[in-house]
Each structure stands twice: as C-alpha cells, then as structure tokens.
Structure 1
Amino acid sequence: MGNSQDQQTAASSAGFDVYHKHGSSVRVNSEVLLQTELKSVHPSDTVTWVEAEDCDFVGFAEAGHAKARLHDGERTYTAIRKYQVPLRSLDEPQGSVADNILFACWDYEWSGRWLTCYKFRWVDNGWQVREYYAIVTEKGDLKDGRCSFAEDLIKTCGTWTQKLHDEIYVYEDGNWEKNKALFNAVSKASWDDVIINPAMKSNLIKDIDSFFNARSTYLEYNIPWKRGVIFHGPPGCGKTISIKALMNTVRQTGVSNLYVKSFKASGCQSDQASIREIFTKARAVAPALLIFEDLDSLITDELRCFFLNEVDGVEDNDGLCIIGSTNHLDRIDTTVAEATEGFTFAYLKELFVQTLLMHVGGHADLAVDYETTAAPEGRDKSEKEDEVSTVLSTSLEANTFYQTLRKQMETLAEDLEVENRKDDGDEHHPEDQVERKSEPGKDMIGGDDDQE
C-alpha cells in the first residue's frame, strides 16, 4: 500500500513538473503539449481531457455525487488565494476567501472505482482563460480507443453540471454564468407582491403555465412549441416584478430561467455571435424562459434581421418562451413586436400605487382595476361594479384618500365620455361639464373650502 501511495505522489508531482515547465517557456499550443507530456507521466493508463466548463468534477463531488481527496503537497497544488466581495453586504459583511486553482490533483472515487483527477488552468496567448480536467484511468476497459468508465463519468457529471442548482443563467460580456444572487432575488418574488390588474395577472400566470404544460397539444396539431411575449409600459409600472414572479413560478416546475443583460462582449466577439450563443444555450436547456429586458435598447437596426432569424427561423425553438420588456413599444421594430404577444402595464404607475398603499392599506389593485379597466367581454359595467363592491372593505370605503381619489377618477371618466360624445356628434351641455370639473376642488386633500 505504501509503495502504491508513493507512486501516486510521484506521478502527481511529475504532472506538476509538466505544468511548471510549460508555464515557464515559449509555447504554441498548450493543449497539445500538456496532453503529450501528461501522457508520458502515465504511460500505462488512459488520460482523458475534459473542459472544466462542461464537467465540474470538483463541484460534482462537493454535491455528494462522488468523493475527491486533494493532494495538498507543495508540488501538487498551486492556487491564488482571492478575496470575494459579498453579493450583499447585509448578508455577509466581511465577504469570503477562496482559491483560484491553477494546478491540482485529486484521488477521485465514483461508482465504486478510484481514479486520478488533475485540474489545469492558464491564460493563453490571446488572453483567454483555459481550464481543463484530466482524468487518469486504467486501460482495462477500453472501447473504440476510449475508456468506457471515463465516458460514463463524463456523461453523468456533464449532465449534472449543465443543470441549475439554485442558480439562474445570466448572459453578460459574451458569456453565460450561473448566478446565485439573481436566484436569491427571484426566489423572494411572489405574485402577492405584484400590484397590477387582477384579471391581467391571472391571465398572465395561466398563459405561461398552460404553455409549458401543453407540449403534447402542440405536437398533436403540428404547431411549433414556442411563445413570445412583450411586457410594455412606463418605468415603475410592474414589468420587472412581474417577470421575477414569473421566473420564480416556472423554476419550481423544472423550467430553466435564462436572463440576458447585454449582447456586448469584450474582445472581438460580435453582437450577432452573442445572439447565436444565447439561443444555442436556450435550446440546449429547454424548456426555458428566456428573458430580454429593455428589448428596445438591445435590438438595433443592424441586429433586427439576425434576431428574428433566431426567433422564427429554421432552428427548432421547441420549449422556448421568450419574454421581452420595454418602456417604449414604439421604438421596437414592428416585425419584432408582431412576432410576439403583448401585455400592457401602461395604466399603472409605481409611485401612485405606493402612495395608495400607504393610505388605503393594500387594496390598490382593486381600486385601480375598478376605475381604469374595462369589463370583460360579454359583461356590462354594472356587473363589474357588483363584483368589486363585494370585495372592498367598509374601512376602505370610509377612507378619505380613497373617496377623494375615486371622485377624481369618476370625474375623469365623465369628461372622457363627454369628449367621446363630442367626437360622435352627440349633443352635450357645456355647463354640465364645467360643473363637474369644479367638484374635485372641494374634495382635494388640504384644499381651500372657501375658494370661489
């Protein structure tokens, strides 16, 4: 046993020599050199190289799916200690420290078998970070020149790596990153906190939920299983909180969340290449909710055709529900807007809602719904009044702020009716209009009762 341990230590030390030698000299292709040199360290074994981005062997073990025992000797572990700024100083005032591993070696156990696992990290001549694992297995179970045990491990670990683990995919600076901070923010979002028209809220939830549950129906009628929706309205009207609540709802049913911040990338990557990467990833993890906030600033004239080709081109977008939001629907090209459905949030102002909540006590959605939305098709206004009146509490009806607000809204509605009759050529009486307009002044909070 002692000789075997000494041999493993010597091998991992020799692996470090390969890494150190390569990092200290001129090189052209790091991957070729390191693979060749490491093979010479393990001549009687099979060495399989895997991109760390695709298979996180260490994370897989930390999650309890394997065992990893680190060789922590001076010549078998090289890392840069770094301070990590807290995601939220309220939760973690002092931040944390972690290793940025450059070279490491582990004894790795999975499915009852032990193997050797290396990790290499370096910066190439183009200043791109390269990160690989190399797993060393016995040659006994080769199939078509490949180790079948290593292949099974890669498939299992790769499948686990690509899944979200209390994370959300965020695309920024030309890369997809798993973001725990956004996940934490989204997981706190609730539809109870979304103050919009209750009917629209209900329709929105049902619309998205029914889409993800209707795959068989789409297939039965040979319809592409994809959707596109635009949320539009002024800033602060409820678009973002609705998106967060929607993301939290669908993630609980196994739907992946992908959030796009920008198409811009450092280096030479074009915006078109970023769009391509975004949709390639979304298709890979579907069913998925793909979010584009501030769509009007993302889709420029130069990108419009390319973006539309990804949305409605020949590629298979089954399982994708694309959500775009904008403050300015008129700035979005009509071809993009027409490729989606729309939910307008334009009638609701966040400041108005916050003020109403302070004075009314949480029933702003009912008040706004009553005065600013039309009754559903097939129902007259009296039915809508009866429905709302059964929900409003007596304390709300007696609230001074609510009474004043309601009178002003009634006056506004009457004025709009007068204008509509005027446009239709119906007779109207100007004196009635003047009288109605004079009433709100008497009811304004802090108003002068003696004004003429």
Structure 2
Amino acid sequence: MSSFSFSQTAPSSCFSTALNSILSSPVASPQLYLIKHLKSTHSEPELQHISILQCADSAFPLSGYLATIGISPKIVELETHSVIQYDHGQRLLYDQVVAGVTEFDYDSVKFRVYKATWRAEYVAYVFYHLVWVGQDETIGRKLSSAVYTWANSLKEEMWVFENGNWDKSKDLYKAVRTADWDSIVLRDEFKEGLRRDTQTFFGSKDIYTSLGITWKRGILLLGPPGNGKTESIKALLAEFECEALYVKSFVTRTVRGPEAGVRSIFDHARKHAPCVLVLEDLDAMVTSEVRSFFLNELDGLAQNEGILTIATTNHPERIDDAIVNRPSRFDVKYNFPLPEHDLRKEFTTKWIAKIHALGDGTDIKFNDAEAVATEVADKTEGWSFAFLKEL
C-alpha cells in the first residue's frame, strides 16, 4: 500500500473555497468549475481523476456500497458540511452530506472523494469527484462500476417511482411478500384467469418472437375502489421471480416537463426487463399534459421487450379511448365490480374467523357466525370490500 497522503497535495479548505466561489457568483456549469479546480489542486502525475454527476443520491450510493464491503471512509471534518435528516422507516436521525470530503482505501489504493450538491432550475444535482493514486483509470472505473451495480440491485426491496425519482422500498416489498390469494375474496375462475394471463406472459417469449410480435403485454384492472385491485396486484407480484416496478405518480419537480417522468419510468423498466410495471390509478396519472408522452413510451417510440404493464383505474371513463381500447396497449381487462351477496358473505365469514383466531385476545364473540355473515351480506348491498372491512 502506498504511503501517499492527500494532505500533502491539497491545502486546507481548498474544496470549501471552490464551493464558496460557486455560491457567491453562480457559474454556468458548476461541475466543470469543480472538475477544473480539483484537477488543478491534485495535479501530481501519479493521481487519477473520475467525475460523476447525478440527479439523486440514490443513483450513486457510494457510502452505502462501501459499508457492505466493510469500508468506513474517514471524513475530512474541515471540508464536510451536513444536515440532519429523519428516516421515517427506521425512525432514526442521520447526517446527509451537502458537501464534503472523505478518504478510504479500496483494493489497497488510496482514494479521496469530493461530494457537492446544488439545485439549478428545480433540479437537484449530486456531484462526486474521485481522486486516487494509480497509473490509469482502471481501479477508479472498477469502484464506480461496483457502486452502480449495487445501486441497481434489489435487496429485499422493490423499485418505487415518486417525486421524479426511482427509489427502493423495503416496506412495499414486505407487503407484497405477505400477500396471498387465500385472503382475497374473488371468484375462483376470476383469480385463475388473472393469474394465468400474467404467468404465461413470462414463459411466452419464443412464441412472441416467432410471430414477429414485440414481447410485451398490458393488463388493466378496473372498477370502483376497494374491491381487490391493489391486493390482487400484490398477490400476483408475490408469485413472480422477476423484478417489479411500482409507479406512484408521473409528476416530477423539474422544468424538463412531464415527459421527463414518463421517460424515466419506461427507461428504468427497459433496463430491468423482464419485469412488471405497475401503474396504479391510471386515470389520475395520465393527464392531458402527459397523454402523448405516455402513449409514445407505451408503444410508439421504443421496444418494450419483456415488460408486463399492469394498471388500475377506478374511473375508466376518464381515460382516453386510445389508451383503454386500442389493442397492444391494454389488451386484457379485468373488471372488479362491487361484490355480490355471496362474496360479501364470504368476506364477512373470513373476518369472523380472524376474530375467533384471536381467542382470549378479544372480547368479541359470535354465537352463530353463519347467521351473522348472512345478515351482514343482506344489509350491505352496494358496499365495497373496503367498506365492509370498516364495519
């Protein structure tokens, strides 16, 4: 291992000085300014440089990857500035670096990493500059590739798109893993048809190819809210081995327009194909602003090989006919109507059984569960499963 020390080459507060220059008089390209400044600061011939620019911390999670391989970077305190954030999932406070410098050894090579964040035209940028001792860029590119590979790998997580960015959700993954068809009250033939239409897709690539058809499919689940669409999707995803991508909204907080969110969604899906792309409440997502972009991405401008798109809507009448009724977009539709008497009774019976299973843990007792379930079903015509659950 080299005895080289970065403190010998970089004067104290050199990075903070560069950041102050950017903040005091904004430059057209902050990343270019920082690259030039840092290459000038570390101009020794034995040093190599790589710069990375992203629009989200999660896109290049360097510290997260290093932690998985047992590396704890040393923070250069004088050059590092953080803010306190709260992780609602873990219920913990943590430091988020706004700008800073760290040092560590990777594969017996000394690295110094500079990080800076800034916002321009509503876009948040995250900049990294890696400096290390070496004859070429090989080890730096190896580290960068490892971080990107780790960032795009799921670890008991699911991809979720919200507020213009893709992130990973452990909570949604857990919710999907615990879902099963036994707890969902639908007609058996309906369940089997839905499962068959989704499961056979991933085993039919050769058939699609032999027919000269793009290997993609769209399934639309429609009907009033609270009747099993979301729970059915979770149960379907629990059966799949491929990755699932869940979209909460097309909206982004950038000036690049609504097309940026739609394009990011489908680009991510193509990178992770074969996969399931879930679009819940499609009628609320596809506004007049995004309609044309959505149609182009869905089937017009790119090949969505290996993407099974499952969308839901409570109000199909609000969706453009070109989306709902044109073949090759959503060619299979499943209607989830308000439950009929026998399904309401079955649903109530299941809930009574759950209460009985609690044993002494509840004071609620039913002397005649069959009679109670029948009475509830008799008096709840027009109720959804969600309303029955609240009864």
Name the structure 2 match of 1:328: 315
Q: Deviations over 1:259-278 (max 9, x none)?
A: 22222333434323322222
Separation in 2, partners of 1:169, 1:200:
28
- Structure 2 match to 1:140: 135
Q: Which residue of 2 aligns with 1:307?
A: 294
Check conservation: 1:169, 1:259, Cα contact below 8 A. Answer: yes
Q: Which residue of 1 aligns with 2:81?
A: 78
Letter in 2 for 1:77: T
Give the aligned residue type for 2:258.
D
For residues 109 and 276 of structure 1, the distance between their equivalents in structure 2, rounded to whole angstroms, comes to 38
Is this contact kept in 2: 1:232–1:329, CA < 8 A?
A: yes
Q: Are the structure 2 counterparts of residues 26 and 127 from structure 1 closer, same or farther at C-alpha, using a change threshold of 3 Å?
A: farther
User: Does 2:71 align with 1:67?
Assistant: yes
- Give yes or no for contact 2:122–2:254 (8 Å, CA) kept in 1: no
Is the contact between residue 68 and residue 107 of structure 1 (CA under 8 Å) also seen in structure 2? no
Is 1:126 matched with 2:111? Answer: no
Instruction: Give 1:219 shift.
Output: 2.5
Distance 1:157 1:407, change over 3 A: closer
Mark the runs of 5 or more structure 1 residues left unpaired by the alignment. 142-146, 363-396, 409-452
SS of 2:24's partner is: coil
- The counterpart of 2:50, out of the listed 41, 48, 51, is 48
Contact 1:102 1:119 in 2 (8 A): no
Distance 1:103 1:137, change over 3 A: same
Residue 78 of structure 2 aligns with an amino acid whose one-letter code is: R
1:361 Cα offset (Å):
7.5
CA gap of 1:405–1:165, structure 2 versus 1, over 3 A, is closer
**Partner residue, 2:194:** 204
CA offset at residue 246 of structure 1? 1.9
Shift of 1:404: 7.3
In the alignment, which residue of structure 2 is the partner of 1:117? 112
Of stretches 236-245 and 268-277 in structure 1, the one that deviates more from structure 2 is: 268-277
**1:38 pairs with 2:38:** yes
Matched, 1:100 2:101: no
Does structure 1 retain, via aligned residues, the 8 Å contact 2:281–2:311?
yes
User: Could you tell me which residue of structure 2 aligns to residue 271 of structure 1?
Assistant: 258
**Contact 1:187–1:248 (CA<8 Å) still a contact in 2?**
yes
1:344 aligns with 2:340: no
Cα separation, partners in 2 of 1:35 and 1:220, compared to 1, 3 Å: same
Structure 2 residue 21 is matched with structure 1 residue 22: yes
CA contact (8 A) 1:256 1:289 kept: yes
Aligned residues: 355
Is the aligned partner of 1:182 residue 2:185? no
How far off is 1:18 after superposition?
4.1
In structure 2, what residue type is equivalent to 1:355?
A: T
Quickly say closer, same or farther: Cα 1:100–1:206, change in 2 above 3 A. Answer: same
After TM superposition, give the deviation of residue 324 of structure 1 in Å. Answer: 0.9
Q: Which of these residues, 187, 212, 221, is aligned with residue 222 of structure 1?
A: 212
Between 1 and 2, higher relative CO (CA 8 Å, sep ≥ 6) is seen in 2
TM-score by length of 1: 0.69
Distance across 1 between alignment mates of 2:309 and 2:74: 43
For 2:344 and 2:146, how far apart are their aligned partners in 1? 50
Q: TM-score, normalised by structure 2?
A: 0.79
Contact 1:258 1:291 in 2 (8 A): yes
Q: Classify 1:8/1:348 alpha carbon distance in 2 versus 1 (closer, same or farther; 3 Å).
A: farther
Q: Indicate the residue corresponding to 1:295 in structure 2.
A: 282
In structure 2, do the counterparts of structure 1 residues 399 and 116 end up closer, same or farther at CA, with 3 Å as the change threshold?
same
Measure the CA separation in 1 of the matches of 2:369 and 2:344. 23
Give me the whole-angstrom Cα distance separating, in 1, the residues matched to 2:236 and 2:192. 12
Mapped contact 1:230–1:343 kept (Cα < 8 A) = yes
Aligned equivalents of 2:369 and 2:4: distance in 1? 85
Q: Is the 8 A contact 2:49 2:131 kept in 1?
A: yes
**Inter-CA distance 398–36: structure 2 relative to 1 (3 Å threshold):** closer
Distance in 2 between the 1:125 and 1:305 partners? 27
Counterpart of 2:334 in structure 1: which amino acid? Answer: F
Offset of 1:102 from its aligned partner? 2.3
Equivalent residue, structure 2, for 1:386: none
Kindly indicate which of the two structures has a greater share of residues assigned to helix: 1
How far has the Cα of 1:405 moved from its partner? 8.9
Counterpart of 1:319? 306
- Aligned twin of 2:363: none
CA offsets per residue over residues 136-179 of structure 1, 9 Å max, x none? 133513xxxxx133223322321221222333222223222323
**Corresponding residue for 1:11?**
10
Task: Give structure 2 stretches of 5+ with no counterpart.
Answer: 356-367, 380-391
Summarize the alignment of residues 360-375 of structure 1 with structure 2, pairs less than 5 Å apart: none
SS at match of 2:310: strand
In the aligned structure 2, how far is the partner of 1:304 from the partner of 1:32? 36
Q: CA deviation at 1:202?
A: 2.3
Amino acid at match of 2:252: A
Aligned twin of 1:369: none
- Read off the aligned partner of 1:30 and give its amino acid letter: P
Report how far residue 124 of structure 1 moved: 3.6
Equivalent AA in structure 1 for residue 154 of structure 2: L
Closer/same/farther in 2, CA of residues 316 and 108 from structure 1, 3 Å limit: farther
- Please say if residues 349 and 370 of structure 2, whose CA atoms lie closer than 8 Å, have aligned partners that are also in contact: no
Cα RMSD for the two superposed structures: 3.2
**Structure 2 counterpart SS, 1:140:** coil
CA–CA separation in structure 1 for the residues paired with 2:65 and 2:228: 39
